[in-house]
Amino acid sequence: KYWFDFVFFHTKFGKKFRNCVDLVHDFSLKVIEKRKNEILEERAKNGNQTRTQAEDTIFLGSKRKKVAFIDLLINNHIDGLKADGSSDFSLADVCEEVDTFMFEGFETTAVAISWTLHLLGNDERAQNKAYEEIRVIRIWLKIRKIPYVYEESNFLLGHFKLFLSKPPNVDIQDYVNIKIKELMPRYRDKKLIVVRLFCFPYTAVTNADAIEAVLSNTKILKKSPEYRYFETWIGTGLLTSAPEKWKGRRKMLTPTFHFRILQDFLKVMNEHSMTLVDIIKQNDGKVMNLFEYIPLTTLDTICETAMGVCVDAQRNPKSDYVNAIVLLNSGIFKRFYDFPSWLDVIFYHTKLGKEFKKSVALVHKFSLNVIEKRKKDLIEDRRKGVYVTTSDETIFLGSKKRKVAFIDLLIHNHIDTMKDDGTSSFTLKDICEEVDTFMFEGFETTAAAVAWTLHLIGCHEKVQRKAYEEICELFADDVDRFVVEEDLQKLRYIECCIKEGLRLYPSVPLFARRTTEDVNICGFDVPKDVTILIYPMALHRDPNIFSEPNRFKPERFFEENFNRNPFAFVPFSAGP
């Protein structure tokens, strides 16, 4: 019935509506007339100058001020005034446009905002994406003062261009490492720089002072989001856990790295190293790629020291478990350098992703089986009155000496925290996380360090001769005996060779931290939620710290020569 004016305007609501229209029109006309008089007065003062458009703002004459939509309409009205005072664009027309603008921009905008907020509030995934977009914009506004690396950057892709510009038949990881190694020295004096992957900014440290500022800061303990790729395999253990969990777990695990425990592992290391020597001897002096064999040696060693089991990888390199561990290590790093694989939905549908998932399941099953078996054995030992204790002489179970693996100490922590209902604050799953973390961190990294050190020694005859002479002086004619603790303290030149190998080719090519609040690093303000990249290979080649940085010079690590910032050498990270 309200469609007919003669009906509508005789209703109570229609009469109220008409009163409101009169009120709004009266208000708008009063504003228009007042603004018209002010504009005419401003024109008279400024020689009848009209509005102009500058790049940064709208202003009237020479006086810069905010100009409302109504001002532009009134200026059009004034410009169209004739001698008789009439105008093609009357004040009534101005009033119409103002009221139209009010109608179209008031309720419609409010409805749009309200519904958008309501829908975002009911869709967590969309809410997170919107938050991420706002977060990125906020970060860019705050890091504008940090030098940006324009080299190797694309307008749309940012520095992801590096991943796409790789020549054919060149390993992507090697190519990116070379490019970063070339770029970093140009910005060494800047201390902190900004790089970009698509629209996402990252900061990177370029010298030892900046590394110290980052790694010694207790506000930058959180790992970057990219560490989530490790979590499928190693969960949230010591490597990937959040700061709160990391602190508690670190405190609990520190006693398991007691020097006497590590000393007890020497026998295991000797045995598996001798197996490698035997395999090399059987090759009858032919050329062989040691990097195919050394990882198997470190895998044998880490399995026996961490889990107390011998997988015999060197003699049985094709076993399912050995293949799974090798694939997991290589798969994680391949995923880092393949952008589509960053998305789980894509990665786990690729051939590598499917094999990766199967390998994770196999390794987890193997670890849990070992943990459950060892737990039963240790509970039985406890019933017999035998406990793990630490003495100055050795690690032993009660009065019965026996090798204790890393896993045994974790299981005892689990048993010690068990409640009456059988639950524990340190679960079997937690043990599995730490064992898998230990496997990941100790397998490939150790193999890379050993392989690169041997390669570098083999390429430098003078160094090789010095290392050989040190070994001959220590072992004399008994070259087949096992290495003992006292020997390690005397092999100073060999130790320097290992450190120099780690300087030139660190086992961990990149590690990253995430700011949990706004921090200041070397005079630069870095906002919350920014990933800070640390690239040891480039940092270890700073000519201001290491003379002839690209040369293999083990002597530089003798104590008398090592007078430099300790954060200049961080092959495995540092700090809290």
Query: What does the alpha-carbon distance between residue 225 and residue 217 come to, in Å, rounded to a whole number?
Result: 19
* 166-170, 204-208, 210-214: the lowest-pLDDT one: 166-170
Determine the average pLDDT of the residues in 459-474. 94
pLDDT exceeds 90 at position 91: no
Sign, CA dihedral 305-310-314-316, equals negative
* E-only strand ranges, 5-109: 51-53, 58-60, 63-64
Least confident of 45-49, 233-237, 440-444: 45-49
Instruction: Yes or no: say if 440 and 239 are a contact pair by the CB < 8 Å rule.
Output: yes
| In contact, 176 and 162? CB cutoff 8 Å | yes
Residue 64, sorted as left (phi over 0), alpha (psi -120 to 50) or beta, turns out to be: beta
Residue 115 in tokens: 């519904």
Q: Are 470 and 495 in contact (CB under 8 A)?
A: no
Greatest mean pLDDT among 247-251, 306-310, 353-357, 375-379: 353-357
- Lowest-confidence range among 248-262, 419-433, 457-471? 248-262
Run of H or E including 443: helix 428-458
CB 195 within 8 A of CB 159: yes
Whether residue 191 contacts residue 207, with contact meaning beta carbons closer than 8 Å, is answered with: yes
Confidence of residue 394 (pLDDT cuts 50, 70, 90): very low
The answer to whether residue 263 scores a pLDDT higher than 50 is yes
Q: Does pLDDT of 396 surpass 50?
A: no
Domain boundaries, the chain: 5-109, 123-220+507-576, 232-459
pLDDT at 402 over 60: no
Q: What is the pLDDT averaged over residues 86-96? A: 86
Assess if CATH 1.10.630.10 describes domain 232-459: yes
Give yes or no for residue 458 having a pLDDT over 90: yes
pLDDT tier for residue 170 given thresholds of 50, 70 and 90? confident
How many residues make up the chain in this entry? Answer: 576
Q: What is the band of 405 on the pLDDT scale with cuts at 50, 70, 90? A: confident
- Going by their DSSP bridges, the two strands 192-197 and 200-205 should be labelled as antiparallel
Is the confidence at residue 450, as pLDDT, over 90? yes
Which residue has better confidence, 564 or 390?
564
Count CA atoms closer than 13 A to 293's CA, side-chain side: 18
What topology does CATH give the domain 123-220+507-576? 3.30.43
* Helix, coil or strand: residue 528: coil
**3-class DSSP state of 205:** strand
CA distance 365 to 438: 16
Q: pLDDT tier at 258 (50, 70, 90 boundaries)?
A: low
Instruction: Determine the pLDDT at residue 387.
Output: 59
pLDDT at 348 over 70: yes
What pLDDT, on a 0 to 100 scale, did the predictor assign at position 307?
A: 85
Are the CB atoms for 77 and 51 separated by under 8 Å? no
Q: Give the separation between CA 479 and CA 466, rounded to whole angstroms.
A: 17
pLDDT at 57 over 50: no
Residue 50 is predicted with a pLDDT of 55
Decide: residue 8, CB within 10 A, 0-12 exposed, 13-18 middle, 19+ buried. Answer: middle
Tens of pLDDT, residue by residue over 99-125, are 888 888 888 899 999 999 999 999 999
CA 375, 296, 573, 563 torsion: positive or negative?
Answer: positive
Task: Give mean pLDDT, residues 130-153.
Answer: 85
Q: What is the rounded end-to-end Cα distance, in angstroms, of the chain?
A: 76
Across 401-535, the runs of DSSP E, i.e. the strands, are 511-514, 519-521, 524-526, 531-534
At residue 308 the predicted structure's pLDDT band, cuts being 50, 70 and 90, is confident
Question: What does pLDDT average to over the chain?
Answer: 84
Q: Token digits for 471?
A: 């070994």
Residue from 405, 442, 434 nearest 252 by CA = 434
Bridging pattern class, strands 511-514 and 395-397: unpaired
- For residue 349, pLDDT over 90 is answered with yes
Query: What would the mean pLDDT of 404-426 be, rounded to a whole number?
Result: 83
Q: Which two tokens stand for residue 235?
A: 């969960």
Question: According to the model, what pLDDT value does residue 275 have?
Answer: 93
Tell me which DSSP letter residue 158 carries.
B
Residue 382, pLDDT above cutoff 70:
yes
Model pTM score: 0.75
Query: What average pLDDT score do residues 145-171 get?
Result: 82
Sign of CA dihedral 291, 297, 299, 302: negative
Task: Look at residue 380 and tell me whether its pLDDT is greater than 70.
Answer: yes
Higher pLDDT, 300 or 8: 300
CB 482 within 8 A of CB 270: yes
Phi, psi of 398 (to 5 degrees): 60, -125
Q: Report the run of H or E that residue 295 belongs to, with start and end.
A: helix 294-307
Secondary structure string (H, E, C) spanning 155-202: CCCECCHHHHCCCCCCCHHHHHHHHHHHHHHHHHHHCEEEEEECCEEE
pLDDT at 250: 82
- Residue 257 clears pLDDT 70, i.e. is over it: no
DSSP of 327-344: HHHHHHHHHHT-GGGGSH
- Give residue 386's pLDDT: 66
**How far, in Å, CA of 411 to CA of 380, rounded?**
13
